[in-house]
Amino acid sequence: MSARVHLGITVGDPAGIGPEIVARALAEGRLTAHARITVYAEPRLFDRAARETGESPLPRSGGSGPSEAPRLHPIDPGPIPSDFELGTPSAFTGRAAAEAVRAAAQDALGKRIDAVVTAPLSKTALAAAGVPHPGHTELLAELAGAPEVAMMFVTGDLRITLATTHVPLSEVARHLTPEMLAERVRLTRECLVHRAGILDPRIALLGLNPHAGEEGRFGGEESRTIRPVIEEARRRGWRVEGPFPADSFFARHLGSYDAVVAMYHDQGLIPVKLLSGGKAVNVTLGLPFLRTSVDHGTAFDIAGRGVASSDSLVEAARLAAAWVGPPSA
């Protein structure tokens, strides 16, 4: 993709590893290799992270300088508390993370940037700041007015959409309805067609129960919930197959399908994280703009130590640049 693709990168919780992995990836040229970059961050804290990783403080948005050079969109979450320290989430850090996401989303909706790439934030800090959302996905859905969203994880040619996300295992079956699952299939297919450029994608659905229920012996969700969705998708001319036993699917069928819909969080995330080597990308489906993210958390325990990897962030930027389509002017 041309460097004219314009990505907005939010640094996440400023007490976590987000600022340093963004700054390090910029210093190494690993982000600008894929796109033009605007960073959304509290300026004093990001400038400190930049200096510590060898990156010069970024010029502010709207200032002079080469148009292709990285820029900083300053966020003002209020005065930096006297007790701020790396590794400690707080109401201030939650507010800073949320304000960065809001600013980037508004720029994406206004077509001032082509996609949003997010570094990790803290659910604890968001709650302390009074943000009524547990994470990026829900916050972005509200900001964009998106009625239905879903999480897809990408590593290489493996793309896995989660039917349910942060739901206790004991409640997954209750949350799993034909209507919800059909919507996950639709969002997955739309992403494959309009983002990945796969015009007639092949999608696999995993079963919920051991051996995909074994004809009802180990559970009835496959017959009551999953198979009706597959049958309706086929009536629409979509190539949707399953339900497959989850324990053997990836050994037998890896690479045979363009995407997989997993029924619950760990069913999808275990193979992703096993195969990605720390470079998986989280994509939010259903937004009016593209959003990609790292597949890891804030790692407060190692913040500021210079050991956090920026690989997943760089992959998120690379995928966004590849999937965003024609760049903005």
Low pLDDT (below 50) residues in the chain:
1-3, 63-65, 327-329
Note the pTM of the prediction, 2 decimals: 0.92
Question: Do 1-146+287-329 and 150-278 show the same overall fold?
Answer: yes
**pLDDT for 56:** 79
User: What is 150-278's CATH number?
Assistant: 3.40.718.10
- Residue 264: predicted pLDDT: 97
Considering the segment(s) 1-146+287-329 as one domain, its CATH architecture is: 3-Layer(aba) Sandwich (3.40)
Three-state helix/strand/coil letters over the chain: CCCCCEEEEECCCCCCCHHHHHHHHHHCCCCCCCCEEEEEECHHHHHHHHHHHCCCCCCECCCCCCCCCCEEEECCCCCCCCCCCCCCCCHHHHHHHHHHHHHHHHHHHCCCCCEEEECCCCHHHHHHCCCCCCCHHHHHHHHHCCCCCEEEEEECCEEEEECCCCCCHHHHHHHCCHHHHHHHHHHHHHHHHHCCCCCCCEEEEECCCHHHHCCCCCCCHHHHHHHHHHHHHHHCCCEEEEEECHHHHHHHHCCCCCEEEECCHHHHHHHHHHHHCCCCEEEEECCCCEEEEECCCCCHHHCCCCCCCCHHHHHHHHHHHHHCCCCCC
Q: What is the pLDDT of residue 1?
A: 39
Give the pLDDT of residue 222.
Answer: 92
Q: What is the pLDDT of residues 111-121, one digit of tens each?
A: 999 999 999 99
Domain boundaries, the chain: 1-146+287-329, 150-278
